[in-house]
């Protein structure tokens, strides 16, 4: 899986809880993937395709080409 080229955000791991959400609930592991977008961005004066998370796009850290 790719990661964000700007903030280096990658997969995170956590627990998937059952509906009851009590301490006796069964828990299994799951992954939280970042919301990555493939974008043509201007980097060092040339246009490249990079993977960028939606948060970096929204905050303006990337200039689209």
Listed by start position, the domains of the chain span: 12-59
List the one residue out of 59, 63, 8 whose CA is nearest residue 34: 8
Using pLDDT thresholds of 50, 70 and 90, give the confidence band for residue 29. very high
CB contact at 8 A, 39 and 24: no
pLDDT (tens digit per residue) in 7-28: 999 999 999 887 776 667 788 8
Name residue 30's beta-bridge partners: 14
Mean predicted confidence (pLDDT) in 35-64: 94
E strands, the chain, are 12-17, 27-32, 36-43, 46-53
pTM above 0.95, yes or no: no
């Amino acid at each position: 899986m790719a990661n964000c080229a700007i903030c280096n955000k990658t997969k995170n791991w956590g627990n998937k809880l059952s509906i009851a959400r009590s301490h006796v609930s069964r828990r299994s592991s799951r992954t939280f993937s970042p919301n990555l977008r493939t974008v043509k961005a201007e980097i060092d004066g040339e246009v490249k395709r990079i993977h960028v998370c939606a948060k970096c796009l929204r905050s303006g850290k990337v200039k689209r080409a």
